[in-house]
Chains A and B, each alone.
Chain A
Amino acid sequence: MSMRVYRLLFLALVLFSSCRKDNLKPEWDADFLAPLMTTRISIQDLLSDTIVQSESDGTLTLVYESLIGEIYLDSLLIIPDTTIGYTASLNNLSINDIIFDYSISLGSIAREDSTLNGPNGGLYETIMTAHNTGLPTHIQAIDPMTFDNIALNAGDYFQTITLENGDLEIRIDNHFPLIMTNVIYELKNSVGNQVLVRDTFLTILPNTSETHTHSLAGMTLENQLSGFVTLSSLGSPGDVSIDTSYALTAQIEVKNIAIQSAIARFPAQEILSLNQTADFANNDIQLTRAIIKEGMTNVVLQNTLGEAIHFSFEIPGAKLNNIPFLIQGTLPAGTVSNSSEVSLSKDLSNYDIDFKGIRPFELIEGDLNGNNMVDAPVDNSLYYKLSGSIDSSGNFINLSQSDFVSAQCSFQHIKPAYIKGYFGNMQKDTTGVTTFDLFPDIDIDGASFAQARLFLSVENQIGASAAMHINTLRAINTQNGQSALLSGLAATNPFMVTSASDPNSLAIPVTPTMNVLELNEQNSNIQQLVSVLPNTLEYNIGFELNPGQNPPAPNTGTDFAYDNAHLSCYLNTEIPLNLSFTNLQIHDTAISDLQSLNTENINYGNLVLYSYNLFPFDAVVNLYFLDSNQVLIDSLSASPILVNAGIPSQNGKVLTPYVTKSVVPFNSIRLENLKQTRKIKVTGKFNSAPPSQHVQVYNDYFIEFKLVGDFNYHIKP
């Protein structure tokens, strides 16, 4: 076939395809029933979920708990920031005792006599003959003879040293068979020629020794000392054997050195050792134990000594996993003008700290703080140990009175998770205003309750007894301005609150004690307070810990508190819902989104409101449609819709809801109004029925509204 035929065929296909009438739009009207909205109002909805309690018989009790005062002890039971400091000058730094030895032999005396008097016929000859022959010989008296060649070298100990204190001890041993008399000695600095000591031993018998001690306080010693010895003798008491090696020996010892300044070599030694306590003054609280929730310890040490100091700071009474708190380290060498410093911090969290001071440790270890006794029991006291030592480097160290080593330990921002002791007679007031939403968001002209009970309950999580004072409790109805102030014994007498029990564990919550005081006609004017239908309570509540108790002996306090421990005071209300009321009004406004409603195809119709009422309350309800400026556009019904109360059966309970059908015609204009609606205001007014007669309310009562659209709809597909 030719292309013309194909074209014709294709054209025909398209033409016939176009014959379909896809766009046909027939129209018709149909009647539709559509549930639009449903809501059920229970007594819980009317009075708030939290305050209505069902009883076993189905009746209801209005239970309302209003917190009217609460005191946390966190701000009171604190461990204050505390700093302890210790500065030690280093004049107690010790160096080793300095010992020199010096001797004069009998040979030396013989030679000195030979020098002075010649070798013949004199002392020299006598001594040497006796020495050589071995025959006992009598030695005649010896005239004073001076030996000025004493030279002592202390360069191994120091270069120079000024003594705060010190002794020079000279001991002379006479190994001559001679009676020595008038032994004079002198010791002086070789360079400065300052005489350090000059002394005389009057008589030293053969084979005996004599010792003299001299104070060196305030003196400066050079490392090179010189001196002389002058001696004389009465001779031997008879014939004696002579040996020229016999000697008069002297031992010179510088000891008990307290340094004022020095350039010296210091031996390894402990230069700091403290066993002291830090007091955490905390008003009249007697703290014996605390477990720390958070907090820091910071130790700052300074050193001017030219030797590194090994330090250790320990709090034996602060333990974590049974390991005592310990900070240790090495403080580098410093100078007077530029002291070295080390600052170390350590977290105290979770440490269990004993605040009973040094006594518990002294009971085991004996006196620790050097007062030669076991200290008496104390509280608020923290025992700590600070020690420091140096090694011997062999270097000469320049030490002056300006040298020091210091330690400063601070306890900062300590918040306890648990404290124990005695909390004193702490007093605290709390003042405030709290809502008392017995009928939240409801206006009510008047209500009468068949029975009402009020309780004041105090919940105590603290391990201490307390007394509560109701200084002020005023019930206020802000809507009508009425108020009443609590008076009577309940307001004047303190209410005793018992202590909680210590679970002795941070993981186990403290079970608070509940202390309940019923406010009744005998102890208060409570009915007067109830009658104002308060919505606000104004209060001033005071608490006193350990009322009437004297402080216990140290270490015996049993009060405790865990973190966030508090005392709370509640006003509990129990009102059986057997009541009558008038004009209980509710109203609320909701944002609506009805503009998306497809109402343009609705020809006409009705809104039908079905009401199912089990409450023994008459109600009048309505919905108001408002624009965005809250201006009334329309309402569900021109006049409020009456919903009759449910009718009680013979036993007084409503078993079958009263059904009310309210038909509200809607035309296209009213539907357009509905679309313009931006807010819907719901109003309702309830009156118990019969009027002025108490009616019992049960937990299964409700009123249910169902809004149904009954529309004739124009369908145009």
Chain B
Amino acid sequence: MKNAIFFIFITSLLFCYQSSVAQSIFLNQDSLNFKHYIWSDFESYENSNSINSRFIKAMYNNGYIDDGLKNSVDMTHNIYGISELQFSANYLYLPFADTSKSPLGFFASVSTGFIRALNFTPDVYKLIMLGNKSLAGQEATFNNSRFYMCDFQKLSLGFSLRLPSERGDAFAVIYAGPVKGQRYMEFESAESSLYTSETGEVLDLQANATWYSSDQSKRSNSDFAGNGFAAGAMLHINDQVSGYWIFARADNIGSINWKHSSTRTYIDTTYHFSGIEITNILNLDSTGINISSDTLRKIIEQNTDTIHFRRSLPETFYIESGSHFLNNKITISGSLLYVFRTGMPLPRLNLQTRWNFNRYFSPFINLAHGGSGTFSGGIGVVSRPTKNLYFQIFTPDILSFFAPDFSYANGLTFRAAWTF
């Protein structure tokens, strides 16, 4: 159990990753004047409202987390964090309404996603990183702490429809497909606490928590720990007259039925521990003294059922809007992102400004705030070496490279597209 708790905590810190800048690839096109769109996204992203980038890097580097680093974490409020690692390859066929026999096109995508999210009370952090001595004489509360982890791959197939407009271009896509579940963990505590007496003579644990886990013996890329179904939709409207566009996408709407030796643990118990109680130390006879108590483990085992369970995917909702200014020299956009099931308290807000110097070099800055993280300032570059090629690279917080103590987001986004 102890290792499991550490695992949750560590992995949730290591994979704070989020598709925070899922901008439409079409944002930078002059118009939707192609029929074929092939693009690929690689996104690695993590952010937190309390855990800085130096802390994260220390973990990435298998580093020793010293007291200074541990205390650098803001422990004055709940600690949120989210991470996502995603790769996708996509194809969109978008026929022109006036030349095609049918206005319907189609959409295909394969993707893999690994998402981790946490929402911990400061006491959870203190207990794990500092030890319960830092909580002596206090009741450490774990109320509504949450950890979420879901690894999955999916295939999406759907239809696209170009929507003719006198002012510009627009299209809609709706898609669905099977999902392969690879690994899943979900922990959520209700009213839970741990009291450590001042002298350490007494521990009082109140635990009200639920834990879902897929079959952890089947967690590699090729394992089918579960299967399910997911759907999504996209809508893009581009007003070429005013230079205004809006893009919205809903993704991962569906669920996975986790199979094999998946388990569900529900604990609602109180546990008082004041050491191994030796009834009469003066009359031990052949009594054995075994200090390696495994009571907690037994409680967990007794409340664990091996069952198949169905849990929702991390539904993602993204909306983006922007406009071109100064004869397309400057592009300003904003977006909101919310990922359900991650404990994200608010949507993540992004504001981006791009300077379109030439087709080879269009730098932009991205300011973000909210979600599971805090303020971050990222930079990126868009390049269109030819009419049909598009590249973009982006990092969410420039401070993570220069002042990691003050950075609470880091990662890398790379996007390549070919249109014809």
B133 touches A16 (CB 8 A): no
Q: Which residue of A lies closest to B221 (CB)?
A: A17
In whole angstroms, what is the CA distance A22 to B65 when docked?
A: 18
Q: Which residues of A contact B65 (CB under 8 A)?
A: 26-28
Cβ of B350 < 8 Å from any Cβ of A?
A: no
Which residues does chain A contribute within 8 Å of B221, judged by CB atoms? 13-14, 17-18
A682 touching B281, Cβ below 8 Å: yes
Q: Is B330 an interface residue (CB 8 A)?
A: no
- Establish whether residues A38 and B277, one from each chain, have CB atoms under 8 Å apart when the complex forms: yes
Bound-complex Cα distance A684 to B281 (A): 10
B44 x A706 contact (CB < 8 A): no
Complex CA–CA separation, A713 to B127 (angstroms): 12
By beta carbon, the residue of chain A nearest B283 is: A588
If A22-B11, A35-B273 touch, whether A30 touches B60 (CB-CB below 8 Å) is: no
- Decide if A596 is an interface residue (CB 8 Å cutoff): yes
Closest to A597 in B: B292
A30 CA / B111 CA spacing, docked (Å): 40
Instruction: Name the interface residues of A571-593: CB closer than 8 Å to any CB of B.
Output: 586, 588-593
Distance in angstroms between the alpha carbons of A20 and B87 in the assembled complex:
12
Q: Bound complex: CA of A385 vs CA of B11, how far in Å? A: 100
Q: Is A45 located at the chain interface by the 8 A CB criterion?
A: yes
Chain A residues positioned under 8 Å from B280 (CB to CB):
39, 41, 45
Give bound CA distance, A596 to B285, whole Å: 22
- The reply to whether the CB of B326 lies closer than 8 angstroms to some CB of chain A is no
What is the minimal beta-carbon distance from B178 to any residue of chain A, in angstroms? 15
Q: Bound state CA distance, A31 and B128, in angstroms?
A: 10
Residues of the A chain whose Cβ atoms lie less than 8 Å from the Cβ of B292: 593-594, 596-598
Per the bound structure, the CA–CA distance linking A36 and B136 in Å amounts to: 16
Selected contact of A37 from candidates B6, B136, B196, B275, CB within 8 Å:
B275
Please report the C-alpha to C-alpha distance between residue A258 and residue B364 in the assembled complex, in whole angstroms.
150
Q: Are B283 and A45 interface neighbours, CB within 8 A? A: yes
Closest Cβ of chain B to A633, distance in Å, is: 15
Q: Is the interface of B mostly helix, strand, loop or mixed?
A: mixed
B1-27 CB contacts (< 8 Å) to partner A: 3, 6-7, 10-11, 14-15
- Least distance between B289 CB and chain A CB atoms (Å): 5
Query: Counting CB contacts under 8 A, is B291 at the interface?
Result: yes
Give the CA-CA distance A705 to B281 in the complex, in Å.
Answer: 10
Complex interface residues of chain B between 27 and 69 (CB less than 8 A to chain A): 40, 42, 44, 58-60, 62-67
Q: Which residues between 327 and 358 of chain B lie within 8 Å of chain A, taking CB atoms?
A: none
Distance between Cα atoms of A533 and B269 in the complex (Å) = 51
Within 8 A of A (CB), among B65-108: 65-67, 70, 85, 87, 89, 91
B281 pairs with A710, CB closer than 8 A: no
12 other A-B residue contacts (CB within 8 Å) besides A31-B134, A712-B131: A19-B85, A20-B85, A26-B62, A26-B63, A34-B132, A37-B289, A586-B282, A590-B286, A592-B289, A594-B291, A596-B292, A608-B200
Q: How far is the CB of B351 from chain A (nearest CB, A)?
A: 28
Task: Tell whether A35 pairs with B131 under 8 Å between CB atoms, given A16-B85, A26-B58, A28-B65.
Answer: no
Does B253 lie at the interface of the complex (its beta carbon under 8 Å from any beta carbon of A)? Answer: no
State how many angstroms separate the Cβ of A7 from the closest Cβ of chain B. Answer: 12
B positions within 8 Å CB-CB of A: 3, 6-7, 10-11, 14-15, 40, 42, 44, 58-60, 62-67, 70, 85, 87, 89, 91, 110-112, 114, 128-134, 136, 151, 153, 196, 199-203, 221, 273-292
Closest approach, in angstroms, between the C-beta of A281 and any C-beta of chain B?
A: 53
Within A1-54, the residues touching B (CB, 8 Å) are 1, 9, 12-14, 16-22, 24-39, 41, 45-46
Q: How far is the CB of A542 from chain B (nearest CB, A)?
A: 37
Nearest CB in chain A: distance from B46 CB, A: 11
A12 touches B89 (CB 8 A): yes
Residue of B nearest to A30 (CB): B131
Q: Any chain B CB within 8 A of the CB of A315? A: no
Given the complex of chains A and B, what is the CA–CA distance between A45 and B287 in angstroms? 15
Can you list 7 A-B pairs with a CB-CB distance of less than 8 A?
Answer: A24-B14, A25-B62, A29-B67, A33-B196, A33-B200, A684-B282, A708-B200
Please give the distance in Å from A444's CB to the nearest CB on chain B.
Answer: 13
Q: Could you tell me the distance between the alpha carbons of A169 and B357 in the complex, rounded to whole angstroms?
A: 172
B13 → chain A closest CB, angstroms: 8
Question: Which A residues are CB-close (under 8 A) to B273?
Answer: 35
Please determine whether A610 and B281 come into contact, CB atoms closer than 8 angstroms: no
Give bound CA distance, A7 to B87, whole Å.
Answer: 15
Indicate whether A441 reaches chain B with its CB closer than 8 angstroms: yes
Minimum CB distance partner of B203 in chain A = A35
Q: How far is the CA of A33 from the CA of B287 in the complex (A)?
A: 26
